[in-house]
Structure 1
Amino acid sequence: MTGRKVIGLREAVAAHVRPGATVYLGNFGAQLFAVGHEIIRQRRTGLHLVIGSGGILLDQLLGAGVLASATFGHCWSPVGPGPTWNFRRAAESGERPVTLYELSLGLLTAALTAGAWDVPFMPVPGLPGTGYTDENWPNGRTSRVDSVFGAADVVAAIVPDVAFVHVDQADADGNGVIPGPLGETLVAAQAARAVVLVAEEVVDTGTARRAGIAVPGLLTSAVVHRPGAVAPDGAIGRYERDVAAYERYVARAATPDGFADWLAGHVTGGRDA
């Protein structure tokens, strides 16, 4: 099915990811490897990534050198579990070539909600006794403000230039169906200046409505039909996570040379992992 909002992945990245852009790559628990790899292939640089479930996709983007900063909920391989070596090297580097902002999913959702509501920050519960408060994991993204109504902990708003959202189904009008938990995805779409749905399947409008629309076409700038968009991660009701691919990646990325070989063989050489 075709429509005015259905475009190719390469075209979507070229149109919406400019050097220095703030890019949300959703969803929590569904890493959009297809989009991340296309960003690397198009050599977009200086990007400010916003990603709830960072995992090995964030690790790959860090290693590829396309990021200026990353705002994330976590970065580790859920298989094993295993380390994300590029993230570890970046975090431990005295030079800190990439600025890292670690937020809990609650803080990230609140920051995106503030962006959606067009306010500078959102009040959040304090998290004393955690690294978010005691060790400044948010790296300046949180603060405390006073008002006539009392004091409150707050998190700064996040407004992505573009949000790439993974959906199970989308129609040509940009209505998207998400069968799993929404997490921060809907507020990310509401906060972003542009929204690209990356769909496992493109269906007619009636099918999307019967399945239950999670992201309305009113918010959507474009739809990309890309089956397997989150592979080697898994998609609910579509395909399982490729555990062996995760294990191979972690083993290869343990050294910078090993990662460079993996990147050339699986991404920049034209073949997805």
Structure 2
Amino acid sequence: MRPVLGLADAVRAHVRPGTRVYLGNFGAQLFCVGHEVIRQGVRDVDLVIASGGLLMDQLLGAGVLRSATFGHCWSPVGPAPAHNFRRAAEGGAPVALHEMSLGLLTAALTAGAWGVPFLPVPDRAGTGYVDEDWTRGLLDTATCRFGTSRVVRAEVPDVAFVHADLADADGNGVVRGPLGEVVVAAQAARAVVLVAEELAPAETVRAAGITIPGLLVSAVVHHPGALAPDGALGRYDRDVAAYERYARRAATPEGFRSWLEEEVLT
């Protein structure tokens, strides 16, 4: 049996200043967790997120982050920019931004899962990752008697919040949709909190095909609608109007602050 925690208790137990937090799966932004971190007033968090999207944008605007290691930060509805990310990138905000491709981030998490300090990756000379150091120090080269290779530093989150469609009492989880980097993220993290849309009997979870085994999981949060206003495959659709409203209001720092007060902090 794994403890089933409320969302606020799970965040309180696992996120504090200086915590390295993997948040969500590729294509599954855990807005419920990010918003709870904002409500609890945690600062100096080191975020690891493959598809940052508007969740990362909101965490940046709310002053939660000390650093972000991410695959992208954009609005999937628009065209509209991720305004807080743009302000941070252009204005020199005191947040370290480490941009990586999904392949590089997956390799970094794989190194963390394997307990090695780095992993060789294909060279990407001629790209901003190498030529302009978008990763800000997370790539290097290593030479041994077998040759020389580009390498990426291992990524070991203190806690991984993973979205699951189903979970059982033993913490076994079923992830629907693209898996991306989520399995190696759960293997790399020191603790895993499974945020599930539905709690189901063990036989139902086994029949659906276990993606995240319970032996990796520290706690389960049952939170239907965990991704809203984003959508969850087979559960609910993306709230396009909410995305459009956010894009309009976050265009200025003052507009973002009023949006935050009305839609997250109240």
Separation in 2 of the partners of 1:128 and 1:241?
Answer: 37
Report matched runs for 1:3-42 at 5 Å: 4-42=2-40
Output aligned runs, 1:227-238, within 5 Å: 227-238=224-235
- Distance in 2 between the 1:263 and 1:12 partners? 22
* Selected match of 2:94 from 93, 97, 102: 97
Q: In the aligned structure 1, how far is the partner of 2:252 from the partner of 2:178?
A: 35
Runs of 4+ in 1 over 2 A off after TM superposition: none
State the Cα distance separating 1:81 from its structure 2 match.
2.9
- Report 1:75-94 matches (<5 A): 75-94=73-92
Aligned twin of 1:190: 187
Does structure 1 conserve the Cα–Cα contact (< 8 Å) formed by 2:183 and 2:211? yes
SS in 2 for 1:133: helix
Amino acid at match of 1:262: W
What is the one-letter code of the residue matched to 2:136?
N
How far, CA to CA, are the matches of 2:4 and 2:74 in structure 1?
Answer: 33
Q: Which amino acid aligns with 1:238?
A: R
1:199-248 CA deviation, whole Å, 9 max, x = no partner? 00000111100000000000000000000000111100001111111111
Question: 2:79, 2:71 → 1: CA distance?
Answer: 16
Give the percent of matched residue pairs that are identical in Structure 1 and Structure 2: 70
- Show the counterpart of 2:43: 45
| Equivalent AA in structure 2 for residue 12 of structure 1 | A
Query: Residues 67 and 95 of structure 2 are in contact (CA less than 8 Å); yes or no, is this contact kept in structure 1?
Result: yes
Unaligned regions of 5+ residues in structure 1, if any?
A: none
Alpha-carbon contact 2:193-2:221 (below 8 Å) kept:
yes
Q: CA deviation at 1:19?
A: 1.2
Moved more, 178-187 or 251-260: 178-187
Matched with 1:222 is 219
Preserved contact between residue 112 and residue 188 of structure 2 (Cα < 8 Å): yes
Matched, 1:167 2:203: no
Whether 1:149 aligns to 2:146 is yes
Task: Give the alignment partner of residue 257 of structure 1, picking from 239, 243, 254.
Answer: 254
1:155-190 per-residue CA deviation (whole Å, 9 max, x = no partner) reads 000100000000000001100001212110000000
Give the partner amino acid of 2:68. Answer: A
> What TM-score results when the alignment is normalised by the length of structure 1?
0.96
Aligned mates of 1:125, 1:135 — CA distance in 2: 17
Aligned equivalents of 1:9, 1:24: Cα separation in 2: 16
Taking the TM superposition and a 5 Å limit, the aligned residue runs for 1:111-130 are 111-130=108-127
Deviations 1:48-87 (A, max 9, x none): 0000000000000000001000000000101113100100
Q: State the TM-score, normalized to the length of structure 2.
A: 0.98
The aligned amino acid for 1:75 is C
Shift of 1:134: 1.4
1:74 aligns with 2:72: yes
Counterpart Cα distance in 2 of 1:207 and 1:44: 37
How far 1:4 sits from its partner (Å)? 4.0
Q: Which letter does structure 1 place at the counterpart of 2:22?
A: Y
Letter in 2 for 1:66: V
SS in structure 2 at match of 1:146:
strand
